[in-house]
Amino acid sequence: MALNNLFSSESVSEGHPDKVSDQIADAILDDCLSHDQSSRVACEVFVTTDFVLIGGEITSKHHPDYKKIAREVIRDIGYTKKEYGFSADDVEIVVKVHEQSPDIAMGVDNGGAGDQGIMFGYASDESEGFMPLPIVIAHKLVRVATNLRKEGQFKWARPDMKSQVTVDYENRKQPRIAVILMSIQHDPDYDEKAFKSYIENEIMKPVAKSFGLNTDFKVLINPTGQFIIGGPAGDTGVTGRKIIVDTYGGAGHHGGGAFSGKDPTKVDRSAAYMARYIAKNLVAAGVAKRCEIQLGYAIGYDKPVSLFVETFGTSKYSQDQLVEIVQKVFSLSPKDIIKTLSLQHPSFKYHELTNYGHFGRPDLNLPWEKLDKVEGIKALLK
């Protein structure tokens, strides 16, 4: 197995400590926006053994019940037993939240970006959802495992899980799975052989088959031997530490800004969604087989300070042509991005995005995943 043709991506379940933090932050964001669409939210959460710290800057007409929201999220994940070292009814919760700086508000109130930064969007024609294959497989593995756990079918499993998928691209037209790794938290009195057999035969192989891929991959399950202590009791969790899991599994660039806990005036979130929207529509229109969009913003400015289109040698169109197409088809001011993608609509639930990636989600009808700009792009190519 030649290492130069292999590419790996990972995913984590909703019980991973960093994702616990992300989910609490996004649930607070949803609560604010559902009552006040103009809420400004930058919420950060830290979790460890039997402890949650909620901090950040929130300006809203609505005053969330932070502790209630956090306990509901923790309970829904499945941390309900004291023996886990982190449970909904037993955790101590401390809230340290203040209002957004008026210096930031001045720029945002005028329709400008809430901060400076660079954001990337990526799309590839290698999967049905225009996403890199390793990350979508990795997401599906932990999603399937979590659903089976919640349904009571996955015996001995606990909430904290990770997956990692290595794809062999020696033949790019027919990629193969080389390795699947899963680390899944379990009860101490489990049957190791039966547990691992279930993971391989009821999770790994069915997921591989669902993509029409091989099942003769190398299998790695809990490589250290056991995984009893997990979740926030096993490792601290912090908002925004799983940015590669949230995006493209490393196949595309990331500007560095996290998504969770931020309202859409923060271009870290909204512009990254717009960049994905642009890249996906360009690939779907046949402009390129792979496409990456970079957008740059300055705090308080209502237009991007930079726009770059990368097609990795898969397009016959020049950089100037592609930039011109993007500018004609898409409006890139922070205010227009929010409007185009309905990012302040009270029915939109950000916490639904927290797990299993913000892009290429067939289970959610996401505005930035629509292909409604394809015909407009094609018309400009004629």
Kindly give the confidence (pLDDT) of every residue in the chain, 382 residues in length, as a single tens digit, with 9 standing for 90 and above. 556 799 999 999 999 999 999 999 999 999 999 999 999 999 999 999 999 999 999 999 999 999 999 999 999 999 999 999 999 999 999 999 998 766 655 556 566 677 789 999 999 999 999 999 999 999 999 999 999 999 999 999 999 999 999 999 999 889 999 999 999 999 999 999 999 999 999 999 999 999 999 999 999 999 999 999 999 999 999 999 999 999 999 999 999 899 999 999 999 999 999 999 999 999 999 999 999 999 999 988 889 999 999 999 999 999 999 999 999 999 999 999 999 999 988 788 999 999 999 999 988 999 999 999 999 999 998 7
- The pLDDT of residue 172 is 87
How many helices (DSSP H) and strands (DSSP E) are in the chain? 11, 11
Residue 372: predicted pLDDT? 97
Q: Which residues pair with 46 in a beta bridge?
A: 53, 238
pLDDT tens sequence across 43-81? 999 999 999 999 999 999 999 999 999 999 999 999 999
What is the C-alpha to C-alpha distance for residues 4 and 1, in angstroms, rounded to an integer? 9
Of 201, 212, 206, 202, the closest CA to residue 176 belongs to 212
Whole-number CA gyration radius for the chain:
21
Question: What's residue 99's pLDDT?
Answer: 85
Residue that has been written with the tokens 């229109």 in this structure: 285
Q: How far is Cα 194 from Cα 155, in angstroms, rounded to an integer?
A: 9
Question: How far is the C-alpha of 277 from the C-alpha of 261, rounded, in Å?
Answer: 21
Determine the pLDDT at residue 106: 55
pLDDT at 162: 98
Cβ neighbours for 356, distance < 8 A, ≥ 6 positions apart: 11, 139, 140, 142, 143
Burial class (CB in 10 A: 0-12, 13-18, 19+), 289: middle
pTM across the whole model? 0.95
The vertex-315 CA angle with 310 and 321, nearest 5°, equals 70
Domain boundaries, the chain: 3-11+133-230, 117-125+268-381
Residue 78: left (phi > 0), alpha (psi -120 to 50), or beta?
Answer: left
Identify residue 220 by its one-letter amino acid code.
L
Name the CATH code of domain 3-11+133-230 (choices 3.30.300.10, 2.40.400.10, 3.30.1310.10, 3.20.20.70). Answer: 3.30.300.10
The conformational region for residue 312 under phi > 0 = left, psi -120 to 50 = alpha, else beta, is left
Which strands, in side-by-side order, build the sheet including 92-98?
92-98, 51-59, 40-48, 237-238
The reported pLDDT for the residue numbered 341 is 96
- The CATH architecture one would assign to domain 117-125+268-381 is 2-Layer Sandwich (3.30)
Pair type for strands 176-186 and 157-168: antiparallel
Q: What pLDDT was estimated at residue 3?
A: 67
Matching fold, domains 3-11+133-230 and 117-125+268-381: yes
pLDDT of 111 reads 65
**Neighbour count for residue 375 (Cβ, 10 Å):** 10
Please report, as a single letter, which amino acid is at residue 369: E
